[in-house]
Amino acid sequence: MPIQPFSMTLSVVPTALYWARLLLNGAIPFLMHLGVFKALGFLSLVFSLIGLVGWLNLAQAQNVSPVQNDTAQSSTLISSSSLASTPSPSGSALVPIKFQVNWHHQFQFAGFYAALSQGYYQQAGLDVQIQTWKPGLDVNQEVVSGRTDFGVGYGSLVVEYAKGAPISLVMASFQFSPMVLLSHEPIYDLSQLSGKRIMHYGNLQIQTLIHKANAVGSTPIKNIPASGNLNDFISKKVDLYGAYSTNEPYRLTQKGVPFYIVDPKSYGAQSYDDFVIVSQQMATLQPHVVKAFKDASIKGWQYALAHPEELVEHIAQNYPVDKSKEALLAEAKATLQYVQSGQIPIGTVDPDKLMGIAADAKDIGLITPAQFKSLDMSAFIFDDNRGVFTPEELAYLAAHPVIKLGNDVDWAPFEFTDSNGLFSGMSADYFKLFEQMLGIKFEPVVDKTWGEVTQMAKEGLVDVYSCAVATPDRQTYMQFTQPYLSFPMALAGNESMPFIGNYKQLEDYTIAVVKDYWSHELLKRSYPNVTLLEVQNVRQGLEAVLDGRAAGFLDNLAVINYAQRQYGLDGIRIIGQFEERFELSIGVQAQDKVLFSILQKALDRVTEEQRQVIFNRWVKLEVINKISNQQLMQVLAPAMLIIMGLLLLIGVYAYQKRQQKAYIAKIHELSYATEIDLRTQKIIWTSHAFVKLSEYSAEELTDMPYVNLSSDTLLNEHIQSIYQQVIQGKTWQGDVEGKTKSGSLYWVNLTLTPKKNWRGEFTRCLATRVNITDKKRVEQLSITDELTGLYNRRYYNEVIEHELRRAKREGRTLGMAVLDIDLFKLVNDTYGHQHGDVVLQNVASVLSSSFHRANDFVFRMGGEEFLVLTSFDSKATYKTHLREVLKRVEALAIANKNSPFKVLTLSIGALYATVNESMDSEEMFKQADKMLYLAKEQGRNQLMMV
């Protein structure tokens, strides 16, 4: 049974204490202003209340602040050492490299063949063998298992990475995918795919298209694994066949087989293709080899694109190719547009575009929202500048495939042995990352107490401590990395125990500690007068508190709370927290300098996202603020002490306020904070972090009108609405686009918190921010059609319901128009798909400029169909505007010789209605679509409206 992450809860301070604290907050600054003697007189009247609150503050000083992650061929191997004639420049032995392609040999892989034949790989010190593909072969598994070093795969490799596959993306051969579906009949609507048999290789574009089709079809599509045999389509064993537009269409045309193309890009499914991947282990340990392979492959593609005829001849002579030279030449001609896209360098991959691909994968259920949220595409893409480990360190790893861990078997959530006997916990998760990164195994202890483990470490029987504090004793035989986990020392006690502020207070009690833990070593060394009860594990320590053998148990705050929840130990609470923290590091035997360097580098390479995932998996800490009524009574008596004692409390309070301000200052630095004068709406203070974000200096920001920091998209009405809310004492929160000094735009989640002056007036406002620029970019990618820049159908599904609700609420009209390019398929068939893409972009431009108001939305619904949501004061005005759109598209004078108009035209079906409670989005679309059908029936280039 898995152990759940623990959570520390927030308890409520009694109402009386709340008001007492308010009084204290106002009284003490006043008393300090009066001076000591006048203050004494005042204090003599209110000393009881002041004493109460002062002691309360002493208790709360111990509170814990929030913790801040076609036919199968034989396995032919073509080697660069056999084809290349240029020797290795260094004269040293070539590094053997296996490279797995993901389809039959053809021009699709011309760049790699060219790098081989031209000697680019050999010049880079590589002996590359290209391995022939066979049906059923999984490139990802081939790379992860080490059976091949590099592999070519589809965009679905993004899904494998999101699921945890230890792979690294080297390059993308194709800047956008040539993957299409071949059909025996024309497909005008995705609902026509209902119940069809589709043979494909799991390409993400095809899966996305199938998901969209299943959503509108009545019968699920049947997915059939790719055989690689085009005859399965020709013989009609399948209804549709996954193919590259650069390859199979030409072959079918030559055979005289009729076919139709269904292009996923027409339905918003777009991706890179022919990803080249390598294992994370190889990317980490041999980055120079990975970079050499990448650079040589890009040179190969540059050569192949410049010499297609030569490469076709070479492929035909050296590889088992089941196609003619003419077919290869046709493929070469079609491939150019996919490899070289505008000025984008060959092989380029963009993290934002990868996130867009991942968003599609999330939408169709291939990855979970949690997996998507934790994705770091920058970490997925191979860094050309890598060179982490020295030759000595690489040799060490090769010679030491197994490293023995010195770990604790019962110290959850950091590390423990679970019910299946497996090494688990936060530390275990880190070492799993190290195993993937370094290609070695860490062998944990599974049946020893921590005391026995420490003795083994002293005797050199374990290589490293997996998770330990660098105590003076341990530093005599171990060297420690930088800490990778940090939690406070805490004391657990029963309900009757008062708060403990320092270790000296423990001398009157028996305190339980786990033998040889840092807490044990600390008390034994520095506080010998404390009576210690040595126990073997955390549970025994907590049980000793419950049965009265010990007054408290000293250990890590996270461990105490986790164990309390795991074992259901009621009646225990945190009664003290100390300055010392468990700064947990990796310990390495003192004499093993090389292993120490390796593990520190490995630790440094763990990304912040990976750290956060591990932290969130095991820990959820919130503020602890517990004080019982019994304790409240206990502090009343000291509150009756002499006035001089109360003056001391003023000093304590002042110290606490300084500490609180320092803590708040740290929080403000983390949250890009500014303070605003609500009367002038100007900035009066700013954090260093926001100075860096905004690119202004602190001096420039001071007295700057706050609205100067926002982008032009923030309307004045919106600004005034926010201002009115804040001056009324209400907190406002929302996403806002900001602008830096240089004009760059960024997004933050902004919180505006009003603050009172001493008269209770809201005169200032604290603005804190969370930078969500990357999130907004990913959101924009997920709702935008890549070809036209318009909103996509996914976003329409979100917007339509929101607009309907708003129209119903406000009692206003709503206009919907469905627009379709007339005879667009004939445009593609006559002038080519590239020309068709340009046509779509031109029409999109007309629509964007025609509907550009804040309440206008323009969507590309798929293929040549568009949809507009808008609002007009009258039906006549709306109708006139749509007719103007028809004229503007016709005025583009884009040739369409198959049209009766000889130029490109639109047909529009429109609806104009006052939205009522019974109207829904599906009914609106049906009515507008019916009008579109009538417009086409009337001869096209028409507008029909209901």
Active site residues: 864
Q: What is the DSSP letter of 328?
A: H
How many residues are listed for the chain in this entry?
A: 946
Other beta carbons less than 10 A from residue 164's beta carbon: 10
Here the tokens at position 105 are 């040999």
Alpha-carbon Rg of the chain, whole angstroms?
Answer: 35
CA distance 521 to 524: 5
Cα distance between residue 837 and residue 432, in whole Å: 47
Burial group, residue 142, by CB count within 10 angstroms (0-12, 13-18, 19+): buried
* Closest alpha carbon to 576 in 152, 58, 197: 58
Please spell the DSSP secondary structure of 78-107, one letter per residue: EEHHHH--SPPTT-SPPEEEEEE-SSSSSG
Q: From residue 25, how far is each of 16, 37, 64, 424, 758 by CA, in Å?
A: 14, 20, 21, 47, 10
Mapped onto helix, strand or coil, the DSSP state of residue 592 is coil
- CA-based nearest residue to 30, from 20, 22, 39: 39
CA dist 929 and 911 (Å) reads: 9
Q: Is the peptide bond before 413 cis (omega within 30 degrees of 0)?
A: yes
**Residue 707: count of CB within 10 angstroms of its CB:** 13
Among 725, 722, 692, residue whose Cα is nearest residue 706? 722
Centroid of chain to Cα 562: 27
DSSP letter at 190 equals G
Q: How far apart are the first and last CA of the chain?
A: 61
What CA–CA distances, in Å, run from 431 to 23, 366, 579, 612?
52, 27, 29, 15
State the Cα–Cα distance between residues 610 and 430, nearest whole angstrom. 9
Q: Which residues contact 51 (CB under 8 A, 6 or more apart)?
A: 635, 638, 639, 640, 641, 645, 646, 649
Q: One-letter amino acid identity for 795?
A: Y
* Residues 468 and 477 sit within 8 Å (Cβ to Cβ): no
Please give the C-alpha separations between residue 652 and each of 12, 51, 664, 844, 863, in angstroms, as whole numbers.
Answer: 23, 12, 18, 68, 71
- Strand pairing class (674-677; 682-686): antiparallel
Q: For 923, phi and psi rounded to 5 degrees?
A: -65, -40
* Pairing state between β 402-406 and 464-469: parallel
Q: Which amino acid is at 209?
A: L
Angle at 133 between CA 130 and CA 137, to 5 degrees: 125
911 in Cβ contact with 818 (< 8 Å): no
Q: Which helix (H) or strand (E) holds 766?
A: strand 762-771
| Token reading at 655 | 């110290």
- Residue pair 555/493 in contact (Cβ under 8 Å)? The answer is no
Per-residue b/e over 808-824, b at no fewer than 16 CB within 10 Å? beeeebbbbbbbbbbbb
What would the two tokens of residue 102 be? 């993901």
